[in-house]
Structure formats: structure tokens, C-alpha cells
Amino acid sequence: MTYTFTEGGVCAPKGFRAAGIHAGIRKNPEKKDLSLIVSDKPCAAAAVYTKNKVKGAPLIVTKKHLSDGRARAILCNSGNANTCNADGEYIADAMCESAADALHIPKEDMIIASTGVIGQPLPLGPITASMGELAKLLSYEGSREAAEAIMTTDTSPKEVAVSFELDGKTCHIGGIAKGSGMIHPNMATMLCFVTTDAAISGEMLKKACTYTANESFNMISVDGDTSTNDMFVIMANGEAGNREIVSEGEDYELFLKALLALDIKLAKLLAADGEGATKLLECRVTGAPDKDTARKIAKSVVCSNLLKAAMFGKDANWGRILCAIGYTEGEFDVTKTAVSISSKAGSVEVCKAGAGVEFSEEKALEILKEPEIVIYVDMCQGPGEATAWGCDLTYDYVRINGDYRT
């Protein structure tokens, strides 16, 4: 392994501070709702955004600010998405200006994000009034507070960090993410903020950001809804002191592996924390005609509401897996397909050559009682491989979303 998981989240890399507070955007004073991440020095930066045609104002402002591939800080509020508001861009810009003044940096070096209810005006007053306090609370150990402040229906904060060697220097990548509902990616999904002390050019950072999003966040689904505010951002300040990565090669591959490992772990945390979820589902597809087809099949399986409901009910209804494979776009032969279901409790083959095989329902029940279920699909017709992640569909998903605003 070329990397090691470690502690510290977005503050694991050298030169990054973070903080989170309750500013008053959310009614519950126990819920933090304003998060700030800052680098001690300017950073190369890159991002990918939702492809939803309805985009939150923060994404529009952030895209403008990142046009030069540079940034210094990330400000994010929860409780309100600042989307579909006539004054949305003005509010997002004013938030950037307020934070920049408190940090004594150019406004254009600010990345801005929001998450929460769509279509409700975002009050600026509580945010600007709290900015001085938020800046004072910035700490090299503040990742957890920042992670808590970006949560909406999440049941727990999500933060991951890895360390690895580059050019004889110890480098770190750290990330925090939020997302529990409206999770069905089309670029990345949810909000994810990543920092690194590795030295890497903006061009190569963008390349790595796009690739790892496709292999991680783009391969998860909770409910089939692509959000208006999805954003995956990474900032690199070069504090580790390695030779700057400016092209593909061994150093870039090492960085890419470490970033992908971090992104996959965050993606799995998001899928496992889907609204109302009790199980993390993983679908591993092998033997597909090509990688693109494998990706589509894996996503079809984890996106199937019928299968998700069956997993909640601990029902080894493998026909729903074949059904999801069958309506996947692509050219392949389902009569060659083999399927098995696995967990810590064991494994059972349920389908071979596109047809059912005898298996123990009792054994299958024990397997499906576990909180993490792996569905293996072997298409037996090519080199294509892919993995996707999702969750079960429970009564609580409807309860949570039935009264989301009220």
C-alpha cells in the first residue's frame, strides 16, 4: 500500500486550519451551521460541480473565483442551499467578502458553498455577524467542527485523511464531506472539501479531481436525486515540500492513488449514511465487455429501489438484481451472468448463467442481517470492472423527506 489512513481530516495536511460554529441560520442552537477552512498560504485549487441545470448561487460564484486555478479558503453554510433565489449571487458574493475581510485575503480567493433547503432566502445578517468569531476559532485541530457545520440530515460527521511519501517527503490529504439525501451523482455528489500539503499544479490537480470523482462519488447513489449544490473541491498548498507534480508520472500516480483511497472512503461513508439507511450496499461487477458498461451495471444495481427495499427486508430476491442489470444501457449477454451475495456472515451464489441456482434461504438471511452487503456480478464476457455503492430503502427515508422543510 502506498498510503496510510490517519487522523485529522482537512487539518491533517500542514498549514490548514478549520472551524465551525452555530451562526443562527438553523433554528436549533445545538446545530453548527457555518464552516470555514483556510490555508496559511495560497493554494492551487480545482473543483467539479453538479450537472443539474438548476445550480446553487454558490457554485456560480465559486466557478468564477476558481477560473485562475487558485484559492485560499472555503466557506460553507448549512440549513439553506441559497438556490433559486433572486439575490443568491449577491448573498454568496457578500459571504465571500465578509470572510475575506476577516481573513485579510482577496475575495477572489474564497470558495463558497451552501447546503439545505432550496428556494428559501438565505439571511446574510447572521453570517456576517458571526464571521469574526468564526475566524478567531480557526484551529489546526478544527476539522471535526468544520465537518459538523456542513451537515444537514447526516447522522454523523464524515472526515478522512491519508499520508503518503512523495519525493522523500511525507505528504497528507484530508477531506470532509456531507450528504445523506439527494444523492445521485453526475460529476461528484454532495459537498466534499479536500486539502493537501502536496505540491501539485492546478492542471494536474484538476485532472486528479475529475478522475477520482468519477471513480468514487460518481459511483454512489442513495435516492436517485442529483442535487443543485453538489461540489467537490480540492486545495493544495505545497507545504510538504515535495517537488511539484506538473505532469503524469510516478509521483502523480502515487498522489492519485492516495486521493482515490480517500475519496472512496468518504463516498462509502456517504452511502452508508443515506437517509434512513440501515445497510451499506456494494456492487462489484467483473467480466463486463468494457469498463463503461461495468460502471453502468453496478450503478443500476445499487440504484434499484426494488432491490434496496429487498435488502432492507433481508430478502435474497436476486431476480431484482438481474432485472436491474437487464434494463442497463449497453450491449451484453445476460444469459452468461453469475451473481452472489456476501457479507461478514458468509457468501451464497444465487444465480449462474442467467438462471437461479439452489441456495439456502436461511444462510442468505444470516448474510443479509449484516450492516454491509456486497453483491458480486460476473458478466463472464470481458475485462470490464467497476464498483458502486448505495444503501437500503427504509420507512424512515419517507418520514425524513416527508417533513424536510417543516
List b or e across 367-387, with b for residues whose CB sees 16 or more CB atoms inside 10 angstroms: bbebeebbbbbbbbbeebbbb
Any catalytic annotation for residue 50? no
Rounded distance between C-alpha atoms, residue 95 and residue 395, angstroms:
38
Cell reading at 42: 495560497
Work out the end-to-end distance of the chain between its first and last CA atoms, rounded to an integer number of angstroms.
47
The DSSP string of 352-401 is ETTEE----HHHHHHHHTSSEEEEEEE-SSSSEEEEEEEE---HHHHHHH
Q: Is 246 in contact with 75 (CB distance < 8 Å)?
A: no
Among the listed residues 189, 212, 228, 387, the single catalytic one is: 189
Q: How is residue 123 annotated by DSSP?
A: P
- The dihedral region occupied by 330, where left means phi > 0, alpha psi between -120 and 50, and beta the remainder, is left
Q: Is 279 in contact with 312 (CB distance < 8 Å)?
A: yes
Any bridge partners for residue 43, and if so which? 71
Rounded distance between C-alpha atoms, residue 300 and residue 365, angstroms:
23
Q: How many CB atoms lie within 10 A of CB 10?
A: 30
Rounded distance between C-alpha atoms, residue 240 and residue 12, angstroms:
11
Residues belonging to the active site: 189
